[in-house]
Amino acid sequence: MIVAVGIDVCDVARFLAELERVPRLRTRLFTPAERDLPGASLAARFAAKEAIAKALGAPAGMRWHDCTVHRVLGGAPVVELRGTVAARAAELGITRWHVSVSHDAGIASAMVVAES
């Protein structure tokens, strides 16, 4: 059963400029498994984390590092939740995530579907 849907878009150039302007932002937003991805992929991961937060109702106190969006060669990204994000998903009865990310023409986008 679908519990929630989230979607987000991110302007890649603007996002990368912000990472340049505030270097510690990369460490604050991304887990070690995500940090070294190419710029457009980072923007897509950011959009995915935002979409996940929206699907969870964006409650206060959720931490960026409690969600990792893993790249899977030849397959859809896989979400790994911990701590605050996992706790909120459990509250909502979410047991499965479907994630789609894309980046083209300077825009990164992500859509998530949360299921129970």
| pTM, 2 dp | 0.95
Instruction: Report the pLDDT averaged over residues 49-65.
Output: 95
CA 84, CA 60: separation in Å to the nearest integer? 10
CA 38, CA 18: separation in Å to the nearest integer? 15
What confidence tens digit (pLDDT) does each residue in 2-48 have? 999 999 999 999 999 999 999 999 999 999 999 999 999 999 999 99
CA 103, CA 5: separation in Å to the nearest integer? 19
Contacts with 55 (C-beta within 8 Å, 6 or more apart), sequence order: 3, 4, 5, 6, 94, 112, 113, 114
What the block records as the tokens of 88 is 């909120």
What confidence tens digit (pLDDT) does each residue in 71-114 have? 999 999 999 999 999 999 999 999 999 999 999 999 999 999 99
Q: How confident is the model at residue 59 (pLDDT cuts 50, 70, 90)?
A: confident
Report the alpha-carbon angle 88-90-91, nearest 5.
65
CB atoms within 10 A of CB 23: 8
Q: Which CATH superfamily is domain 2-115 in?
A: 4'-phosphopantetheinyl transferase domain (3.90.470.20)
Long-range residue pairs from 27-32, CB within 8 A, at least 24 positions apart, any chain: 28/64, 29/64, 30/64, 31/65, 31/68
What the block records as the tokens of 112 is 């998530």
